[in-house]
């Protein structure tokens, strides 16, 4: 393999909680079997092409700061290939299986649709060569339908049907590429599917367009025999003031309206959850309860800034609860943990990128081990079961299953002169149970 900016870094290894080596895993022991399978299979870690190999650290106040040496090497396709070599070498350093990409991250877009698609397929074929014979895999592919000015008023929700058609063509080719590369999922984040002002927006029309677009995607998935999952990624705002895919509950309502609730799941992101006024664990528990948990975008926001800062995670409390709800939902299945997180503007060296991922991977692993211990220990689930134990009686079951009518329930309640007694919610006791697991090293 050609020399890359990561060539000098050895592969990061598991060394245990006592290790003081800053570039080792202290908790992520990929092979370790927990709850019946290796940690690597539970967590399915992925690096994000856009944050790790494409973005340059520019922000609204200043230009690029991050070293992307491939940008200076040859023509645009040659640069894309050096970038791909570097991305695969980065996966080698972290020793993680997956990556995720948008079309625009891997290949240079062009002004015409056909020229853009030609570039895209050239680099997809190159990625295919790199994947074959390696143990790397594609977690998901997606289309960038938000950066180019043509998408400024949305992609599928654009008032101009030609932008809808351009977006449909792009997604078709991105789905083809995802299938060609053996991807496990295809993701749709509604970048600019929303509005800045109601004054120029026909919301009924735009929602109709978005529903049709998603139905087309699902139809095409079946037509080509793609075995992966179709995932929608909720986000409440940014870039638009009001995004239609606000949160998991909103997306579920939308899926039901278009009859897609058994076809589409969600890709949940921590910073999107907090922007929606939720926690990451809330979104995961909601998706679990609705049966649509698909995959995770791991990151965090900064509560003092309040926008989508996409930082690497550091909150073990929230992540442990998140992993608890992942396990309770039956695990991530074809999904995984994608680091949709970017290093800060001042962290411009290749080594910074490795530190960031090592910390994130270790935190997720530790959170998963903590959640698994909480489950194996049994006390927490027992207390939760106890809280709902009353529902196990035949009378309560009849109320829940629809066997009892409202009048029957009323008559029984009056006859028995029921008198519900207050019960403790035990919040602090439960918090202590979790805290004990979190503040001691996992076994
Ligand atoms: C944007 C975001 C995207 C999606 C993929 O906030 O999270 O990177 O994950 O388009
Ligand atoms: Co994301």
> Which residue range(s) make up the domain with 349?
33-377
What is the per-residue pLDDT for 112? 95
* 105 is annotated as an active-site residue: yes
CA-nearest residue, atom 8 of ligand 1: 340
Pairing of strands 33-34, 98-102: unpaired
Q: Are residues 350 and 390 in the same domain?
A: no
Q: Return the best residue to mutate from 142, 298, 311 for the ligand 1 pocket (most ligand atoms within 8 A of CB).
A: 142
Decide whether any atom of ligand 1 lies within 6 Å of the 189 Cβ: yes
pLDDT class for 413, splitting at 50, 70, 90? very high
CATH number at residue 359: 3.20.20.150
pLDDT digits (tens, 9 = 90+) for 120-148: 999 999 999 999 989 999 999 999 999 99
Query: In 3D, which of 288, 193, 216, 220 has the Cα closest to residue 248?
Result: 288
Spell out the alpha helix ranges (H) of 402-441.
406-416, 427-438
What is the distance, to the nearest Å, from the Cα of residue 391 to the centroid of all Cα atoms in its chain?
34
CA-nearest residue, atom 3 of ligand 1: 189
Q: How far is the CA of 87 from the centre of ligand 2 (A)?
A: 18
Q: For 66-75, 175-184, 331-340, 382-391, which range has the lowest pLDDT when averaged over its residues? A: 66-75
Ligand 1 atom, smallest distance to 267 CA: 9
For residue 186, pLDDT over 90 is answered with yes
Q: How far is the CA of 50 from the centre of ligand 2 (A)?
A: 10
Which residue of the set 29, 105, 247, 308 is catalytic?
105
Query: In 3D, which of 97, 106, 105 has the Cα closest to residue 182?
Result: 97
Q: How far is the CA of 147 from the centre of ligand 2 (A)?
A: 15
**266 DSSP β-pair partners:** 232, 293
What is the per-residue pLDDT for 67? 84
For residue 275, pLDDT over 90 is answered with yes
pLDDT digits (tens, 9 = 90+) for 209-256: 999 999 999 999 999 999 999 999 999 999 999 999 999 999 999 999
What is the per-residue pLDDT for 202? 98
- Arithmetic mean of pLDDT, 367-375: 98
Q: Are residues 334 and 294 in the same domain?
A: yes
Decide whether any atom of ligand 1 lies within 6 Å of the 297 Cβ: yes
Q: Are residues 182 and 78 in the same domain?
A: yes
List the beta strands (DSSP E) in 162-201: 185-189, 194-195
Q: How far is the CA of 45 from the centre of ligand 2 (A)?
A: 14
- Arithmetic mean of pLDDT, 28-44: 98
0.95 surpassed by pTM: yes
**Residue 282, in any domain of the structure:** yes
CB atoms within 10 A of CB 348: 16
Decide whether any atom of ligand 1 lies within 6 Å of the 245 Cβ: no
Q: Are residues 316 and 199 in the same domain?
A: yes
Q: How far is the CA of 191 from the centre of ligand 1 (A)?
A: 8
Q: What are the φ/ψ torsions at residue 34 (nearest 5 degrees)?
A: -130, 135
- Arithmetic mean of pLDDT, 306-323: 97
pLDDT class for 399, splitting at 50, 70, 90? very high
Q: Return the best residue to mutate from 235, 276, 280, 296 for the ligand 1 pocket (most ligand atoms within 8 A of CB).
A: 235
Q: Mean pLDDT across the chain, nearest whole number?
A: 97
Which ligand is closest to the CA of 146, given by its number?
1
Decide whether any atom of ligand 1 lies within 6 Å of the 269 Cβ: yes
Q: What are the φ/ψ torsions at residue 138 (nearest 5 degrees)?
A: -100, 120
Q: Are residues 215 and 350 in the same domain?
A: yes
Which residue of the set 51, 102, 272, 278 is catalytic?
102
Q: Return the best residue to mutate from 55, 275, 297 for the ligand 1 pocket (most ligand atoms within 8 A of CB).
A: 297
Q: How far is the CA of 158 from the centre of ligand 2 (A)?
A: 22
pLDDT class for 442, splitting at 50, 70, 90? confident
Q: Are residues 392 and 361 in the same domain?
A: no
Both structure tokens of 392: 């196990």
What is the per-residue pLDDT for 443? 79
Domain endpoint, select from 337, 358, 377: 377
% residues pLDDT > 70 (the chain): 100
Decide whether any atom of ligand 1 lies within 6 Å of the 233 Cβ: yes
Q: Are residues 307 and 414 in the same domain?
A: no
Decide whether any atom of ligand 1 lies within 6 Å of the 193 Cβ: no
What is the per-residue pLDDT for 1? 65
Q: Which residue has the tokens 């939308």?
A: 254
Q: Are residues 338 and 420 in the same domain?
A: no
CA distance 248 to 236: 10
Structurally, the chain folds into a number of domains equal to 2
Both structure tokens of 434: 């979790």
CA-nearest residue, atom 4 of ligand 1: 189
Is residue 164 within 8 Å of 209, Cβ to Cβ?
yes
Q: How far is the CA of 399 from the centre of ligand 1 (A)?
A: 43
| H or E segment and range at residue 359 | helix 350-377
- Arithmetic mean of pLDDT, 307-318: 97
Ligand 1 atom, smallest distance to 48 CA: 8
CB atoms within 10 A of CB 263: 18
For residue 207, pLDDT over 90 is answered with yes
Domain endpoint, select from 329, 357, 377: 377
Pairing of strands 37-38, 33-34: antiparallel
Q: Are residues 418 and 309 in the same domain?
A: no
Q: Are residues 372 and 384 in the same domain?
A: no
Name the maximum alpha-carbon separation found in the chain. 85
User: Please, which contacts does 249-256 make with residues 24 or more away whose CB atoms are closer than 8 Å?
Assistant: 249/286, 249/290, 251/292, 252/286, 252/290, 252/292, 254/207, 254/210, 254/211, 255/214, 255/292
Which residues 6+ apart lie within 8 Å of 424 measured at CB? none
């Amino acid at each position: 393999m050609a020399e890359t900016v990561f060539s000098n870094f050895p592969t990061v290894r598991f060394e245990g909680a006592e290790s003081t080596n800053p570039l080792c895993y202290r908790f992520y022991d990929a092979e370790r079997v927990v709850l019946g399978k290796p940690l690597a299979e539970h967590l399915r870690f992925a690096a994000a092409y856009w944050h790790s190999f494409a973005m340059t650290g520019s922000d609204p106040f200043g230009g690029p700061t991050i070293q992307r040496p491939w940008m200076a090497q040859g023509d645009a396709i040659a640069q894309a290939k050096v970038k791909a070599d570097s991305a695969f070498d980065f996966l080698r350093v972290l020793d993680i299986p997956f990556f995720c990409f948008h079309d625009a991250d891997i290949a240079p877009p062009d002004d015409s649709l056909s020229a853009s698609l030609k570039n895209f397929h050239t680099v997809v074929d190159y990625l295919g060569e790199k994947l074959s014979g390696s143990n790397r895999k594609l977690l998901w592919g997606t289309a960038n339908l938000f950066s180019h000015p043509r998408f400024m008023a949305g992609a599928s929700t654009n008032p101009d049907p030609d932008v809808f058609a351009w977006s449909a063509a792009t997604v078709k080719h991105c789905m083809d590429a995802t299938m060609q590369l053996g991807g496990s999922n295809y993701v749709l984040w509604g970048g600019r599917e929303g509005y800045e002002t109601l004054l120029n927006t026909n919301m009924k029309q735009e929602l109709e367009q978005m529903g049709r677009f998603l139905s087309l995607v699902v139809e095409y998935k079946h037509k080509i025999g793609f075995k992966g999952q179709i995932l929608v990624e909720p986000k409440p705002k940014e870039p638009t003031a009001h995004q239609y895919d606000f949160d998991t509950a909103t997306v579920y309502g939308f899926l039901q309206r278009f009859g897609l609730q058994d076809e589409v799941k969600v890709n949940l992101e921590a910073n999107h959850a907090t922007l929606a006024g939720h926690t990451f664990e809330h979104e995961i528990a909601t998706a679990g309860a609705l049966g649509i948990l698909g995959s995770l975008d791991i990151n965090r926001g900064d509560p003092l800034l309040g926008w989508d800062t996409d930082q690497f995670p550091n909150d073990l409390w929230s992540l442990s609860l998140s992993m608890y709800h992942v396990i309770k939902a039956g695990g991530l299945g074809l999904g995984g943990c994608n680091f949709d997180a970017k290093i800060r503007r001042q962290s411009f060296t290749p080594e910074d990128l490795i530190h960031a991922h090592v910390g994130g991977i270790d935190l997720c692993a530790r959170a998963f081990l903590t959640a698994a211990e909480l489950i194996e220990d049994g006390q927490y689930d027992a207390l939760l079961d106890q809280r709902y134990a009353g529902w196990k009686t035949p009378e309560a079951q009849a109320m829940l299953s629809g066997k009892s009518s409202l009048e029957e329930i009323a008559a029984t309640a009056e006859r028995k002169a029921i008198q519900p007694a207050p019960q403790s919610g035990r919040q602090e006791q439960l918090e202590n149970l979790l805290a004990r697991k979190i503040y001691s090293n996992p076994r």
